[in-house]
Structure 1
Amino acid sequence: MIHFRPFRNSDPPALVKLWNQAVPEHSCVRPLLVHELDDHAFGSVFFDRDGLIVAERDGRPVGFVHAGFGPDQPVGEHPFALTPEMGVVAMVAAEPGPDAQATAESLIVEAERYLRSRGAQVLYGGGQFPLNPFYWGLYGGSEASGVPSSHTQFSSALSALGYEPISTTVHLHYDLDQEESRDPRAPLLRRQAAVEFVEDPVPSNWWENIALSDFHLTHVRLESRTEGVEIARAHTWDMTWFGRGDGHTRIGVYGVEVAPAHRGKGYGRFLVAEILRHAREDSFERAEVQTLADNQPALTLYQSLGFEPVEQSTVFRLPAPFPDRSRPHEPHRLD
């Protein structure tokens, strides 16, 4: 019989063991260390022990699920304020074996009850900014968008419980030892705009600060030399933890944005190319970026530079109304 209970301070070693058994190596930090999970998932100011539910069999943890909420929008106006109307099942991991799927599904149901008890009206499976409360920096690649396709235990459990895919993100990698892609417009663009790399900047908002402040953030700006206005921007962070399996140092690129008045002029490609050049100089071996699967201009841009798609991740949503299974009741047991 399986018993479900809230998180205890003594749990992290057992939860890290489950992570390293059940969470796939691709697009995740593996092997994960105890202090890393403790600091980056359980150490935030909005961590709620009731939202991390542990499944035990004979007193031994055999799985866990972690659920939570995102910040008020826009992020930054109300620090540490969460929006309880939308909840997310951010992580599930069950000990491999014949009962793993049933354990994962039952854990997700327990997470639903927790979220509903806190006021959630809409439930998601797999986080995506800003509904990514705990694992950015540890899971899901450069932007922690959804459930990676390699994490079949998580996605299969969500699908079995009626969650439907609503958004797909493509993960792309770039090997920095390959020959640099040449852009004939680069000399002209370099005369028109200056690139500025701001190392260890003040994070853009408190959400980013909690997630990535320990991973050597860099803000990159492209500024017009004549007008002094910002043309484009992006952010990078050190993803080297993600390279423990293959030994490659990684840099993550996110938040690539070109000002509307300057789109279609090659500035986005130029900015990303400059980021890759800078990453080579800093001895990174791979770069990673993500974009929505239906964002064809972004996909075309990255692939023209030499990025290759390596994985997809999916955000799921539970259709309304809530199934009866999510109604709060006495603690659930799985025979």
Structure 2
Amino acid sequence: MLSYRTFQNADPPRILQLWGDSGLGRAAIQSRSTEPFEISNYAQPYFDPQGLILACDGDRVVGMAHGGFGTKADQSGLDQSVGVICAVVVHPEYRRRGIGRELVSRVEEYLRQRGSETLYAGPSLMNDPFYFGLYGGSRPSGFFESDPLAMPFLTAVGYEAVEKHGIFIREMLSGKDPTSAKVVMNRRQTYLEVSEKPQRPTWWWFTRFGRLDCLQYQLKFKKSQETVAVLTAVGLDQYIPVWNQRAIGLVDLVVTAEYRGQGFGMTLLIEVIRQLRQDLAGCAEIHSPETNESAMRAVSGAGFERVDTGIVYRRRESP
């Protein structure tokens, strides 16, 4: 008999089994332990069991949907006016029975009851309460285009694509680093500074990167020590069983406004790759919003190749 209920303390192993059996593709980790889910989901200070809805066939968890909330503009806490469906998973044996639709409906009800006015499907920057490091690789960027079931399903339950992110990979153990006259000039006048965290980490940073193995790289001018560009590197060892190699995620590439368009973003990416190569990682992954043309150029110029697209969806308003 199929039934629906909210998360209980004994559920993590059952959810792990469902996750592994559901064929979620290259975007999802494969783990024998519930620990990554504890770190990124259940141990979050704002985790609410009521927001994680399970479909069960007896004691077996055969489907799940998990909702949470966006982040305030100052990154100091949750913004409950923005609701996010972070995951929808149904076991292959139980698909096309209306289970996914029912799970989404129940999560939407939970989010609306707690004040959400705008609903998204697919976590992304600042709207990423859960699954950081579990789905999406270096960071959550919606649901991946390589999952052929995601778009038809979300469209059918009332969502439309509103944001796309390019997913890029750079193989690090073979090939030469790209270069140009601009990159050579930038390298001569800058140096890399490495730290374990930003100077002023926010609540949002601590609840995401603060739980993972990461380093921040700053590209600075040699003469003035002024920061030109910043990038964070995140360990992705949990993806080794999926990608068959050790990977590093590169996130939050930011170039100071007055220095944009001068090749500093590409220079920083190339210099970080050179540093990380010493750690024997096989590849680096980075995401970039398609709307950020300068970032897309920097990523491509640094030798990354596009392998997928992350899509964020928003609930269509009722007519």
Q: TM-score band, normalised by the shorter chain?
A: over 0.9
Q: Which amino acid aligns with 1:70?
A: G
Cα distance in 1 between the residues matched to 2:32 and 2:311 = 23
Asked if 1:228 is matched to 2:225, the reply is: yes
Cα distance in 2 between the residues matched to 1:24 and 1:203 = 36
Tell me the residue number matched to 1:102: 98
Cα distance in 2 between the residues matched to 1:203 and 1:146 = 27
| 8 Å CA contact retained: 1:172, 1:289 | yes
Q: Give the drift of 1:252.
A: 0.6
Cα separation, partners in 2 of 1:33 and 1:150, compared to 1, 3 Å:
farther
Tell me the residue number matched to 1:309: 306
Tell me the residue number matched to 1:19: 19
Q: Which of 63-72 and 143-152 deviates more? A: 143-152
2:165 to 162, 166, 169: 169
| 8 Å CA contact retained: 2:192, 2:220 | yes
Q: Which amino acid aligns with 2:121?
A: G
Tell me the residue number matched to 2:241: 244
Cα separation, partners in 2 of 1:292 and 1:31, compared to 1, 3 Å:
same
**Across the two proteins, how many residue pairs are aligned to each other?**
318
Cα distance in 1 between the residues matched to 2:42 and 2:147 = 21
Q: Secondary structure at the match of 2:194?
A: strand
Query: What per-residue deviation string (whole Å, max 9, x for no partner) do you get for residues 234-282 of structure 1?
Result: 1111012112123211111111111111122221111110010011012
Tell me the residue number matched to 1:332: none
Tell me the residue number matched to 2:139: 143
RMSD: 1.9
Q: Which of 224-233 and 247-256 deviates more? A: 224-233
Cα separation, partners in 2 of 1:32 and 1:113, compared to 1, 3 Å:
farther
Cα distance in 1 between the residues matched to 2:97 and 2:206 = 35
Tell me the residue number matched to 1:8: 8
With the length of structure 2 as denominator, give the TM-score of the two structures. Answer: 0.93
Cα distance in 1 between the residues matched to 2:58 and 2:196 = 50
Matches within 5 A, 1:1-335: 1-31=1-31, 33-75=33-75, 78=76, 81-97=77-93, 99-100=95-96, 102-177=98-173, 178-199=175-196, 204-321=201-318
Cα distance in 2 between the residues matched to 1:128 and 1:25 = 18
Cα distance in 2 between the residues matched to 1:242 and 1:58 = 31
Q: Which amino acid aligns with 1:162?
A: G
Cα distance in 2 between the residues matched to 1:41 and 1:238 = 18
Q: Secondary structure at the match of 1:112?
A: helix
| 8 Å CA contact retained: 1:149, 1:313 | yes
With the length of structure 1 as denominator, give the TM-score of the two structures. Answer: 0.89
Cα distance in 1 between the residues matched to 2:180 and 2:254 = 19
| 8 Å CA contact retained: 2:265, 2:295 | no
Cα distance in 1 between the residues matched to 2:99 and 2:32 = 22
Q: Give the drift of 1:50.
A: 0.3
Cα distance in 2 between the residues matched to 1:23 and 1:313 = 17
Q: Secondary structure at the match of 1:128?
A: coil
| 8 Å CA contact retained: 2:161, 2:314 | yes
Q: Secondary structure at the match of 2:271?
A: helix
| 8 Å CA contact retained: 1:92, 1:154 | no
Q: Secondary structure at the match of 1:279?
A: helix
Question: Can you give the 5+ residue segments of structure 2 that lack an aligned partner in the other structure?
Answer: none
Q: Which amino acid aligns with 1:94?
A: V
Q: Give the drift of 1:200.
A: 5.8
Query: What per-residue deviation string (whole Å, max 9, x for no partner) do you get for residues 123-177 of structure 1?
Result: 1100111111011111112121101123344433211111000001110000002
| 8 Å CA contact retained: 1:256, 1:268 | yes
